[in-house]
A and B are shown apart, each in its own frame.
Chain A
Amino acid sequence: AQSVSQHNHHVILSEAASLELGCNYSYGGTVNLFWYVQYPGQHLQLLLKYFSGDPLVKGIKGFEAEFIKSKFSFNLRKPSVQWSDTAEYFCAVMDTDKLIFGTGTRLQVFP
């Protein structure tokens, strides 16, 4: 079965810094990949998804992610973070009938 690794558990940045959160999945073939965001006290919302085509995927709020098949990776990036990006970020991969989530990365952005 698929698994997802998010190596950064807690990231602290100042506003305007660049962000990259790592995500690796366990095996190849056709994959559907997702990044979800959970703002404090809220439910998960989709940031972006990849299922085919251009490996550079653009999502909401200025986020993007790059699918690199050879590295089994789907890292999330944002050139300049804002205080409002403080949240927990989850990478997920579709495996047959279910979405497998990583353990999440908590991002704190200070003004």
Chain B
Amino acid sequence: EAQVTQNPRYLITVTGKKLTVTCSQNMNHEYMSWYRQDPGLGLRQIYYSMNVEVTDKGDVPEGYKVSRKEKRNFPLILESPSPNQTSLYFCASRPLLGSAGELFFGEGSRLTVL
């Protein structure tokens, strides 16, 4: 089954404790992206990657890091989480050609930073 898989789905952590949210897709998509969803703000892009070893900042990259060492994986790293990073995070992917930009989303990861 074609899918985007995120882990963990739910996480409660404390300020300053480094964490990684993993994202993996099995559709051989070149493009991958992370969004955060906050009430009243919709979805805002954090980082994206056009292909292996190519990453770029989105609209709200502060406090986050990403890497793209393999085509299928695009982990989101919070080196020192803060309470304002409490949010619902979505990973998404798409092919560079042929989908007219349609994104395929993971199930989401709800993060709470105390």
Contact indicator B105/A102 (Cβ below 8 Å): no
Report B-chain residues with C-beta under 8 Å of the C-beta of A103. Answer: 40-42
A66 to B107: give the CA distance in the assembly, Å: 29
Kindly list chain A residues whose C-beta atoms are within 8 Å of the C-beta of B33: 98-99
- Give the size of the chain A interface in residues (CB under 8 angstroms): 19
Is A32 in contact with chain B by the CB < 8 A criterion? yes
Q: How far is the CA of A42 from the CA of B48 in the complex (A)?
A: 22
Q: List 10 A-B contacts (CB under 8 A).
A: A34-B101, A43-B106, A45-B105, A49-B101, A49-B102, A51-B100, A98-B58, A99-B33, A99-B45, A101-B42
Q: Is the CB of A32 within 8 A of B100?
A: yes
Most chain B beta-carbon neighbours within 10 Å: one of A9, A102, A103: A103
CB-CB contacts of B29-50 with A at 8 A, as 1s and 0s? 0010101000011111100101
Instruction: Select B90's contact among A9, A44, A51, beta carbons within 8 Å.
Output: A44
Interface residues on B, range: 20 to 34
Contacts of B56 in A (CB 8 A): 97
Most buried by B among A9, A42, A44, A104: A44
Cβ contacts under 8 Å, B100 to chain A: 32, 49, 51, 94
- B14 close to chain A: CB less than 8 A: no
Q: Does B81 sit within 8 A of A, measured CB to CB?
A: no
A68: CB under 8 A from chain B? no
A1's closest neighbor in chain B, by CB? B59
